Amino acid sequence: MSTNITKIFLVLNSGSSSEKFSLYEGEDEVCSLYFEGVEIDGKKKFICTVTKADGSEYQVDKKWDNLNDAFKEAKAIFEKEGFINEAHPLDGILVRVVAAGKYFSQHHIVDEKTMEELEKVRVTNPLHVPGTERGIKNAKETFEGVPVLVMSDAEALSRDSRKDTEYALPKELIEEFNLGRWGAHGSSYGYIMGRIKELGILEKKMIVCHLGSGCSVTGLMDGEPAYTSMGETPLEGLMSSTRTGSIDPTIGALLGEKLGAAEAIKVMNKESGLVALAGSSDMREIIAGAEEGHDDAVLAYNLFIDGVVGKIGEFAAKMGGVDAIVFTATIGERSIPVRTSIMSHLDFMGFKIKAEAPMQKGVGFTNVAEEGSKPIYIIPTNEAAYMIKKASELIDAQ
């Protein structure tokens, strides 16, 4: 995944009440700033934590009333620390956009059309689009003259190899809302697809499980995406930390009628999933609760495992088998119990996982399969590296 190491990129992650700035030189993160909201004397304020490449952290001795102020402050901090200056100017600012519609299934350098297209997809993505728009607007005002790029979360999945991109809805509605199973976590899957080939572990039929705060599964045929679990938005597919995953659409319609569409979407995205079932969005706490015999934690854990196993089984059936399984993202890389629970259901497919098999740090991948089993790989993902590679290509093409 080589890229021009002289390029300096700022990667934005704009949440509804937080702003993260990650500064990269090539693919190396040199500094990150995290602005988050806190309650001080009954008022919302924002604090900033600075993290350097060596892992050291400090908090800026200042509070802000408005998240928009974070951009000027971020610029000042990066300049004061010597990370950006006349000799080392920014080459681009990257804003991840959760894909919806054909336009956002590709990466773009932001222009007027980008902003028009963002407004169109606000109806299906009311949670994500406002943060994206805020990030773009503030980035353009604060870092004048620096190209701002929207990085699609579906680009790596938007290939002709996909076999599951359509919905069985009336054609006029599909066209009006530009609906399709675009998928998400594309930066992670794009990185993993590249790594599988680089590491020489490509098999004909592979299933990749991206298990983090958001969870999805993708089936690869000859290293290209064939099936993926997320759809028009990341809500479709697996239950995750705060998302319902796929549920009877009637429930969504009923919630929309009761709460209004935007609030219903918020409930299903932010207040459901593990946190709704077990009161925690942290898989470690849920595992601990399940081990102590708490019924809600046991239910949440079992539903989570069943969901992933079911999706692996579905894609294996559609692809006519599976030759290797890959785990990635925070839970996938770190949780031995989750990996073991999932793989314990898949003996019949020829998989057997080693007991207590951790990921080996500092290597490209770890095979945690028993001898005689098909491979079970842990491959650490690096979404920023993939976005930076694609941004470099886009800027160079200009």
Q: Are 151 and 387 a contacting pair, CB within 8 Å?
A: yes
Question: Hey, which residues does 33 pair with through a beta bridge?
Answer: 21, 50
Q: Which residue blocks in the chain are alpha helix, DSSP H?
A: 69-80, 112-121, 129-142, 171-177, 186-198, 249-259, 261-270, 273-278, 283-291, 295-319, 329-334, 336-343, 383-397
Q: How far is CA 61 from the centre of its chain?
A: 31
Query: CA-based angle 374:379:385, to the nearest 5?
Result: 150
- Tell me how far apart the alpha carbons of residues 161 and 144 are, in angstroms, rounded to a whole number: 39
Q: Are 156 and 99 a contacting pair, CB within 8 Å?
A: no
Q: Classify each residue of 226-240 as buried b or exposed e, where b means 16 or more C-beta atoms within 10 Å of its C-beta.
A: bbbbbbbbbbbbbbb
Cβ count within 10 A of residue 371:
6
Query: CB within 8 A of 189, min separation 6: which ones?
Result: 156, 157, 208, 210, 218, 225, 228
- CA distance to 15, 33, 58, 63, 125, per residue, from 39 (Å): 17, 19, 20, 11, 28
Residue 394 DSSP label: H
Question: Hey, which residues does 218 pair with through a beta bridge?
Answer: 208, 228
Active-site residue, 282 included: no
* Residue 132, both tokens: 């994206």
DSSP letter string, 247-290: --HHHHHHHHHHH-HHHHHHHHHHS-HHHHHHS-S-HHHHHHHH
Q: Which of 65, 153, 160, 295 does the annotation list as catalytic? A: 153
Question: Hey, which residues does 394 pair with through a beta bridge?
Answer: none
For 202, the enclosing helix (H) or strand (E) is: none
Residues noted as catalytic: 153
